[in-house]
């Protein structure tokens, strides 16, 4: 599933085609994605202007001049293709790394914009979805009401200590809990833990002192999370299977992975003689170096 850097990359690619433009016509080629479309979905979009395009965790939110917000989630294989007014296509051909899943038969939502651009939502697995909610109620809607803090919006060791204090869950599980920190996924959690030299099975609560102040490990982890996310956004995200930019190019951060999917390979930390190992936590693979990420 696309994580925060991938969704942010899609947002940046979509913004020039959507922000300030009006939906001239919206065509739904099926009645549902993961969930049914909202009532009168196309009619509520047509004639409305996009006043802003933002990201909340792994969601895209397009504010409309109607007072509603279009909420979009890419699921596992969702993507947007943009055709410019001159007919050039920003996502030509098949650019998935595995399988021809960008074919027209998976084009489910076609948005013709007032600028002459066409934005098409393609989703082979249909795990993505779209919703319309009142903008004034966005923070309290079912998608975001229980969502945690944004990691690129002032995450510090003190914030982590406050969120994790007294928690006995493994550190990796706490980092993946979207009610605590929103937008983190398996890839970037593994990478951040390695940079912070923290074992994924350490107790989350160990990052807070008895009085609630952050430990040095909490400060190191906050710094590592922000660093790895910012580097991934700059690289355009990571391409594994179904993710690609709106311009059809592949994200490049996978070439900078230090632990993720590198089981058996030498640790990339200078001076470390360890190798990357894999364990399973909550049915998900965790990659780390047991030498420089020892148990607490």
Known catalytic residues are: 2-3, 58, 284
Q: How far is the C-alpha of 274 from the C-alpha of 32, rounded, in Å?
A: 48
Q: Residues 234, 226: contact at Cβ < 8 Å?
A: no
Cβ neighbours of residue 269 under 8 Å, at least 6 residues apart?
A: 194, 258, 289, 292
CA 69, chain centre distance (Å): 19
Per-residue CA distances from 251 to 93, 236, 257 (Å): 16, 5, 12
Sheet strands side by side (includes 78-83): 23-28, 107-113, 118-123, 78-83
Sorted by sequence, the CB contacts under 8 Å of residue 130 that are 6+ apart come out as: 33, 37, 38, 41, 70, 71, 72, 73, 109, 121
Give the closest residue to 8 by CA, choosing from 61, 64, 50, 51.
61
Instruction: Quote the strand ranges of the chain, DSSP E.
Output: 23-28, 50-56, 59-64, 68-73, 78-83, 107-113, 118-123, 129-134, 276-281, 284-289
Least Cα distance to 171 among 256, 69, 281 occurs for 281
Of 119, 50, 60, 62, nearest in space to 89 by CA: 119
SS3 (DSSP) at 167:
coil
* 170 SS3 class: strand
């Amino acid at each position: 599933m696309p994580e925060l850097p991938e969704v942010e990359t899609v947002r940046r690619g979509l913004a020039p085609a959507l922000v300030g433009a009006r939906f001239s016509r919206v065509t739904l080629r099926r009645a549902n994605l993961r969930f049914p479309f909202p009532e009168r979905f196309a009619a509520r979009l047509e004639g409305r202007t996009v006043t802003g395009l933002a990201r909340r965790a792994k969601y895209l939110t397009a504010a409309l001049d109607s007072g509603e917000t279009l909420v979009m989630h890419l699921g596992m294989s969702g993507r947007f293709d943009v055709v410019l007014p001159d007919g050039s296509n920003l996502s030509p051909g098949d650019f998935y790394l595995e399988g021809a899943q960008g074919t027209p038969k998976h084009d489910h939502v076609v948005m013709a914009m007032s600028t002459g651009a066409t934005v098409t939502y393609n989703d082979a697995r249909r795990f993505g979805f779209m919703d319309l909610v009142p903008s004034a109620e966005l923070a309290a809607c079912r998608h975001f009401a229980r969502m945690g803090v944004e990691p690129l919006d002032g995450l510090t060791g003190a914030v982590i200590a406050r969120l994790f204090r007294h928690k006995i869950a493994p550190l990796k599980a706490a980092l993946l809990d979207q009610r605590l920190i929103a937008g983190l996924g398996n890839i970037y959690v593994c990478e951040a833990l390695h940079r912070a030299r923290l074992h994924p099975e350490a107790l989350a609560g160990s990052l807070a002192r008895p009085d609630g102040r952050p430990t040095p490990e909490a400060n190191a982890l906050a710094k590592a999370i922000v660093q790895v996310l910012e580097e991934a956004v700059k690289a355009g995200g990571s391409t594994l299977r179904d993710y690609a930019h709106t311009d059809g190019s592949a994200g490049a951060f996978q070439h900078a992975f230090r632990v993720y999917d590198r089981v058996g390979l030498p640790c990339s930390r200078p001076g470390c003689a360890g190798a990357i190992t894999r364990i399973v936590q909550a049915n998900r693979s965790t990659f780390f170096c047991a030498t420089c990420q020892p148990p607490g």
